[in-house]
Structure 1
């Protein structure tokens, strides 16, 4: 059975890269560069350094793992990712790049499963738990928060990029039904998309304080939509679907148009979130 999270993003990237996030388009125009910029922003917000022990929840095809290791020079790297094909890809690239220890410390599995954390971490306690552009896909983001706190070292940091509602919408509104349809199509639990105030409450109720939320919507959602339009134009010029394939082209076209609409109508916000383990 085909996995929802696969290697389709490879077609969006330059050769040799396999980023799979929405990108940070403040000054970038290339997809791979924008994705790296978003990961860099998250690492900086998290405060990664050469003493950091990182658990990366939902690392995709693994390009961000190389950034943690090579740019921030983190001391240890662990992680879990739901997709088997992506995890195999990430492991192979880490091993080829001279990081065999990291390759063995990332595992395939659901980050909402406590056993997956144990398998990836062993007896280690991470100083940082990261989730780059993926927490909205988790079965339960609240359960992820609780597991992150449970496994983090004292005063450890949680940092992620995530969607939240700009404001609640009535269950009978057109916006509500369009949003609900898109969430279901994108394998996103409706309970994961909440307003800012509720998001902060969930962090506090899960045992996190000093929470910060930085809205970067204007540098993410429209930029991703523009990049997909350029890809469609490239397909039209070449008269071929080899770049991404029909299914991939439809998937990203729908996603791009939805994000552009959701940003223009102030329905969703895309933010960088960081918080510290309390107690």
Structure 2
């Protein structure tokens, strides 16, 4: 069976890049630059530095791992990613960049599997748990919060870029039924889409404090939607290598995000929190 999360996004990137997030488009005019900008924002929001030991939940094809290692110069790295093809690609990317030990510390598997966290960390206590544009895809984001809190070092930091329902969105509306259909098609559990107040409560109930939520929707959702519309025009006017099936997937995702943004259904935020002492 084909993987939902595969290597199709390689065709969206500049040469040598393999990003797979929605991007931060305020000062970016191409997909790879926007994706890198979002990763940098997350790293800065979480306070990465030379002493940080990072656990990356959902590292994709590995570009963000190199940002943690080469831009922030972190001290240690661990990670879990669901996709077999992406994990294999990320391991090769790290090895080719000279990070052999780090390549062996990232593994394929289910982020909600507590045994996998234990074996991957092998006794290490990360100072930071990061989830760049992926937590909404987890089987249970709440279970992820609890596992992160359990394994983080004292006063460790959780940081993620994530979706939540807009405060004015009515869960009893026809728009919410449409949202539910799109979430199912996108392999996203509907329980992961909650309003800001519930999101905050779930973090606090999981043992986090000093929660900070910054809405960056204006520089994420419209930019990605525009890039996917542009991608369609470029694909039609050239012999692009992106298969039609993948093009349709990205065009539909772009249309959906533009719709959800215009109708104030979803918001996209940077979230950070500290493990309660």
2:10 aligns to what SS in structure 1?
Answer: helix
- Classify 1:156/1:170 alpha carbon distance in 2 versus 1 (closer, same or farther; 3 Å): closer
- Assess if the C-alpha contact under 8 Å between 1:107 and 1:119 holds in 2: no
Could you say which residue in structure 2 is the equivalent of 1:233?
Answer: 233
Q: Which of 256, 259, 273 in structure 2 is aligned with 1:258?
A: 256
- Classify 1:53/1:265 alpha carbon distance in 2 versus 1 (closer, same or farther; 3 Å): same
Could you say which residue in structure 2 is the equivalent of 1:105?
Answer: 105
Question: How far apart are 1:276 and its partner, in Å?
Answer: 0.1
**2:190 pairs with 1:179:** no
- Assess if the C-alpha contact under 8 Å between 1:217 and 1:270 holds in 2: yes
Could you say which residue in structure 1 is the equivalent of 2:170?
Answer: 169
What is the CA deviation profile of residues 169-225 of structure 1, one whole-angstrom value per residue up to 9, with x for unaligned ones? 243x22011100100000000000000000000000000000000000000000001
Report the Cα distance in structure 1 between the residues aligned to 2:156 and 2:235, rounded to whole angstroms. 46
2:77 aligns to what SS in structure 1?
Answer: strand
What is the CA deviation profile of residues 110-164 of structure 1, one whole-angstrom value per residue up to 9, with x for unaligned ones? 1100111112211110000000000000000000000000000000000000000
The answer for unaligned runs of 5 or more in structure 1 is none
Report the Cα distance in structure 1 between the residues aligned to 2:241 and 2:48, rounded to whole angstroms. 35
Could you say which residue in structure 2 is the equivalent of 1:249?
Answer: 247
Could you say which residue in structure 2 is the equivalent of 1:271?
Answer: 269
Report the Cα distance in structure 2 between the residues aligned to 1:243 and 1:95, rounded to whole angstroms. 27
Using the size of structure 1 for normalisation, the TM-score is 0.98
Report the Cα distance in structure 2 between the residues aligned to 1:229 and 1:253, rounded to whole angstroms. 6
Q: Where does 1:219-230 land on structure 2 (aligned, <5 Å)?
A: 219-230=219-230
Could you say which residue in structure 2 is the equivalent of 1:120?
Answer: 120
Using the size of structure 2 for normalisation, the TM-score is 0.98
Q: How many residues get paired?
A: 276
What is the CA deviation profile of residues 23-58 of structure 1, one whole-angstrom value per residue up to 9, with x for unaligned ones? 000110110000000000000000000000000000
Could you say which residue in structure 2 is the equivalent of 1:75?
Answer: 75
1:120 aligns to what SS in structure 2?
Answer: helix
Q: Where does 1:1-279 land on structure 2 (aligned, <5 Å)?
A: 1-167=1-167, 168-171=169-172, 173-238=173-238, 240=239, 242-279=240-277
Report the Cα distance in structure 1 between the residues aligned to 2:175 and 2:160, rounded to whole angstroms. 26
Question: How far apart are 1:243 and its partner, in Å?
Answer: 2.8
Question: How far apart are 1:88 and its partner, in Å?
Answer: 0.3
The answer for unaligned runs of 5 or more in structure 2 is none
1:64 aligns to what SS in structure 2?
Answer: helix
Runs of 4+ with >3 A deviation: none
2:35 aligns to what SS in structure 1?
Answer: helix
CA RMSD of superposed structures (Å)? 0.8
